[in-house]
Structures are given as structure tokens and as C-alpha cells.
Amino acid sequence: MNAARKKAAESMENTDLVIEVVDARLPEASCNPMVEELRLFRQRPCLKILNKTDLADPAATAAWVAYYNAQEGVTAYAMTTKKPGEVARIPELAKSLAPHRGVPTKPLRIMIMGIPNVGKSTLMNALLKKRVAKVGDEPAVTKMQQKLYLDKNTILTDTPGMLWPKIAIPSDGLMLAASHAIGSNALIEEEVAVFLAEELLKRYPALLTTRYGFKTEEMDAIAVVEGIAARRGYRQKGGDFDFEKASHTLLLDYRGGALGRISLETPETRAVLLAAHAAELAEKAAKAAALAAEKAKNAANGRRGT
């Protein structure tokens, strides 16, 4: 990741426009803050593509598009690579953000960025109408940068999916894990499934009932996973529910859209989450300052006593 970041920083200098691909189900949680940092440092405009809209809640997606379009230097575009007509609009949108480029003497230089498994490589293949980037349902399939010509006046630079060193908000990490941006070897599926079940109970309980056939009233997240095990007949030797298998089923159903169109965050819930996180950080800072002051006071008293 460090090597990829360094290479991206070098390439950004010779880039006119950044296309950042995010997961429409969790646009902010799937935004790499390093991408924003690099882009703003070079003052490059951004076409923020909310990909996988076929899996996301349409109302939430519309709210996110309005949220990003209100930001300076950002144009949001919600789409799915499964629809060629939506992919075909991207070059036109890109050129509108850098109208001074895109001619033979000054080709438009575009860098495509995003975290692992948001669909960057699939987008590259769809734009170029041929397989030029390796695609897979696992994070970090793209390993190195590659430059390709979209047309004679437009150059695309595809970059490896980059995660940032530390995910500050725990629920962001769980959203990323649920959506498969983090490899399965780096997470405990049961923990992620319980988090997802809790979010679904709050946001989309009816979809759980439709998919699995049980009523969710008075259920908690663990009961949801156990309910899936009961409905599907997932049992271990001895008759206990196979919680691991049921957790895997819930995650697969969410990732593949079998549960329905789901968004794990909206601009409103994001604002509440950030406010809570800021309050938590302020509380920790206040406690640390009080502890430091107490230590300094004790040290001063000790010196006077001697």
C-alpha cells in the first residue's frame, strides 16, 4: 500500500482529472482519505463514480449524488458497469471537468482510483470495451499501475486498490468487510455478519423477512443469524446451529444483491457517525490532558517536598 501511494502521488502531478470509484452502498466508508489528500494537493477535479447502484438503495444513492455535487471540484455519477449506456457517459463527463484538455496537443490524462473491489478494473474493461485489467471477486486484484488509451486524445491510468493505514471508525471497517473490500483472511465473518444483521434490522427488516421467511420483531442481530441457520438447516454435529455457515450465507446474499437493494449509510447517518466519533476523540483528549496535568502536579509537589 505504501508503494502504491508513492506511485500514485508521483502520477498525480501529470494527471488532469481523478476518477474515484466508490461503492454506492457505502460511499464515504469506501472513500480512501489518501485519494482526497493527493487530489487536493494537486488541485485536481474529481469525477466520483458511485458504482454498483444496482445493489444500492436508490433513495440513498440520490442523496449521496446531491451531497457530492455540492462539494467544490466534485461531480458525482451513479452507475453500474452492467449497463453499457451508463458507462458510455463517463468520457463526456470527464471532458466537461477538464475542458482545456482532450486535444491531440494536450491529451486528457485521467487517473482511476479507489479502494479494492469497488469495480475499478471492471470499469476499465467496460470503458475500453476489451479485457485490459484483471477482474475478480477478491480485493486487490490489480497489482500495478498501467496506462491505456481510451481514444487518441484520452489516456487512462489504472491504479491498484489502496486502503489506508488505519481505519479510524470501527463501523467503517465492518462495512468494508461486509461489502468485500477487505479480504476474508483479514476478518472474522461471524463478527461482520452480526454487524450487518444489526444494520439490516435498523434499516431493512422487511428484506430479511422476505428473504428468510421469519419475522424480525424483538429479534437481535445474533438471533437473525441463528434464524438463517434454522431456516436453511445449517446444523453442526450435535445439533447446534452452524453460526459460521449462516454468517457466510448472509454476507453472500448481501454482496450479491439477493437480499435486495441496500445502502449501509446515508449522508444523514454519516453526519451522526462523524459527530459521535468527534465527541469520542474530544473526550479521550480531555482525559489525556487531565491525566497529564495530574502527573505534572504530582511531580511538582514531589519536588517541593524534597
Q: Is the pLDDT of residue 139 over 60?
A: no
Instruction: Give mean pLDDT, residues 10-38.
Output: 92
Cα angle value 219/225/228 (rounded, 5°)? 100
Average per-residue pLDDT in the chain?
90
Range with lowest mean pLDDT among 10-19, 193-202, 229-238:
10-19
Distance CA 69, CA 71 (A): 5
Helices (H), 204-266: 205-212, 221-232, 243-256
How far, in Å, CA of 28 to CA of 41, rounded? 20
Amino acid at 66: A
pLDDT digits (tens, 9 = 90+) for 48-102: 999 999 999 999 999 999 999 999 999 999 999 999 999 999 999 999 999 999 9
Which pLDDT score, from 0 to 100, does residue 141 have?
47
In the β-sheet with 46-51, what is the strand arrangement from edge to edge?
A: 74-78, 46-51, 17-23, 108-113, 154-158, 146-151
CB of 42 closer than 8 Å to CB of 13: yes
pLDDT at 135: 54
- CA-CA distance, 186 to 176, in Å (whole number)? 11
What is the C-alpha to C-alpha distance for residues 154 and 101, in angstroms, rounded to an integer? 9
How confident is the model at residue 297, as a pLDDT? 87
State the pLDDT confidence band at 255, using cuts at 50, 70 and 90: very high
Question: What are the cell numbers at 23?
Answer: 461503492
pTM for the full predicted model: 0.88
